[in-house]
A and B are shown apart, each in its own frame.
Chain A
């Protein structure tokens, strides 16, 4: 009981402290919104499956600082993306442009899909052909009599 009273008292003391709104992370929220929109589309080079926006890696923080400054400097989104591509290559873009070096990346999966469909089509057609050829006239007659028996019974 004593413990409970103590716990409640502790909670009451804390609640006064916690009741403050979190301050905004950045002074300029418009810049921050644009930064996040751009960084969402960029790959973090240290932790390659994370976007720049989500990453807390040192380099990601530095790159975000750089992008923030470019935004403040009045650069367009395309110019900022170019800035990073010039340094880190198309790899930083989660949606790389369609060109010779990225052709396989864009077309490859569809080629595999088409090959898969072709494989299935050939497989199904062969099986169907094999089945219809398997029944000779004799077999057909036997099947007929067997079926006849069942309906009679």
Chain B
């Protein structure tokens, strides 16, 4: 009897303990495994409008960022390192930002992006299910979203998840 009670109690503790280790802010995206939503947006810098269709046949990364976003600064060195390796194209989606602020931010912290597009009113962000900047998508050759990182890309996420995934998708 006493043992049954203790076992029951421990089970409940285990259940709650597992619950505590999980991050409620991390909402599994229904977009993983689905085609990346199409868009056509002006670039932040010079050049023609950009559409994800241009990346067909390449594994690439789409990173949602903004100059007002504090945790973007946290992941920025990781993205800079990634861009130096030229492992895969990295496209920035400048989300609900001011053009001048965004350009200043890139000039100050470095520009890891092959190009950045401007989503001024956040409409494309909604199509991609963005709810907490920064977010990063890994998109395969066929234009299917394979992974979504919510929140900053840490060196660990880059090494253990994103880089191996790029390797797998390019095979």
Residues on A lying within 8 angstroms of B by beta carbon are 45-46, 48, 58-59, 62-63, 66, 85-91, 115, 119, 122-123, 126
- Which residue, B28, B122, B123, B127, has most C-beta atoms of chain A within 10 A? B122
CA separation between A86 and B30, bound complex, in Å? 6
B interface bracket (residues with beta carbon within 8 Å of A)? 20 to 34
* Contact A87-B129, Cβ < 8 Å, known A45-B27, A48-B24, A58-B96: yes
**Which of B's residues lie within 8 Å of A, judged by CB?**
1, 4-5, 8, 24-25, 27-31, 96, 121-123, 125-132
Given contacts A58-B96, A62-B122, A89 and B128 within 8 Å (CB-CB): no
Residues of B within 8 A of A63 (CB): 126
Which B residues touch A90, using CB under 8 A?
Answer: 30
Known contacts A58-B96, A62-B121, A87-B31: A48-B25 contact under CB 8 Å: yes
Instruction: Give the distance to chain A from B127, nearest Cβ to Cβ, in Å.
Output: 7
CB distance from B50 to the nearest CB of A (A): 21
CA distance A86 to B31 in the complex (A): 7
Partner of B132, one of A46, A115, A122: A46
Which listed residue (B4, B27, B121, B122) contacts A88, Cβ 8 A? B27
Minimal beta-carbon separation of A78 from chain B (angstroms): 17
Inter-chain CA distance A86–B128, complex, in Å, is 9
| B52 CB to nearest chain A CB (Å) | 16
Residue of B nearest to A89 (CB): B30
**Contact (Cβ within 8 A) A85 B30:** yes
Question: How far does the alpha carbon of A59 sit from the alpha carbon of B132 in the complex, in Å?
Answer: 9
Q: Which residue of A58, A62, A86, A126 is within 8 Å of B1 (Cβ)?
A: A126
Residue of A at shortest CB range from B37? Answer: A87
A88 touches B132 (CB 8 A): no
In the complex, A105→B148 CA distance in Å?
24
